[in-house]
Structure 1
Amino acid sequence: MAEKKSDGPGPSVKDPELYEALRDDGASKEKAARIANAAAKSSRSEVGRKGGESGDYEDMTKDELMDRARTVGIDGRSTMTKDELIHALREH
């Protein structure tokens, strides 16, 4: 069943235009809202350069990846390998 397009992102999203563009590109609602709000706080170009806060997933242990996946709410994490956790975190 196809997902019905909403009337908009809701009042908590600070940059609705960017949110909709990210959703059209396949980003999850949560990820699109997070990026749109970060862009509204500074600038769109600043958000792309910011990065680097959480480190490389490859350098983290599986337990650290599990904690991060738990924090962001990734389902099925308990049965994932380290590579699957990394992929899930990057796609979230």
Structure 2
Amino acid sequence: MTKDHGPSIKNDEKYEALREEGMSKTKAARIANTPNSGKKGGKAEEYTERTKQDLYNKAKEVGIKGRSNMTKQELINALRNS
């Protein structure tokens, strides 16, 4: 049975799976709280094809700090490494 991690974790099952894989609490929470985090299909647009505003919004969604001062390339790098 999946443990309830409280209101700060939106997808407890995904969070636990990520923690078991060795991810940090912060990174696991960020991924588990992202809408559609469990969906697959490879239909997402490449980061390089997105606008800076789209990248900023995605960075905000996953909780990347300092995003308002980042260039498009810095946003891409931060998203890829989050």
TM-score normalised by L of structure 2: 0.59
Q: Any idea what the Cα deviations from partners look like across 1:28-86, whole Å, max 9, x if unmatched?
A: 1224536xx83xxxxxxxx6xx2424310000111221122122221100111111101
| Pairing 1:12-27 to 2, within 5 Å after superposition | 12=5, 13-14=12-13, 16=16, 18-22=17-21, 24-25=22-23
Q: 1:65 aligns with which of 34, 49, 55?
A: 55
Q: Any idea what the Cα deviations from partners look like across 1:6-44, whole Å, max 9, x if unmatched?
A: xxx95252263x33233x25571224536xx83xxxxxx
In our comparison, the structure showing a higher alpha carbon Rg is 1
Structure 2 SS opposite 1:83: helix
Amino acid at match of 2:48: E
Do the aligned partners of residues 68 and 32 (structure 1) sit closer, same or farther apart at CA in structure 2, a change above 3 Å counting? closer
> What's the % identity of the aligned pairs?
34
CA distance in 2, matches of 1:60, 1:75: 20
Higher relative contact order, structure no. (Cα contacts within 8 Å, ≥ 6 residues apart): 2
Aligned length: 71
TM-score normalised by L of structure 1: 0.54
Match of 1:81 in 2: 71
Structure with the bigger percentage of helix: 1
Amino acid at match of 2:52: K
Structure 2 SS opposite 1:19: helix
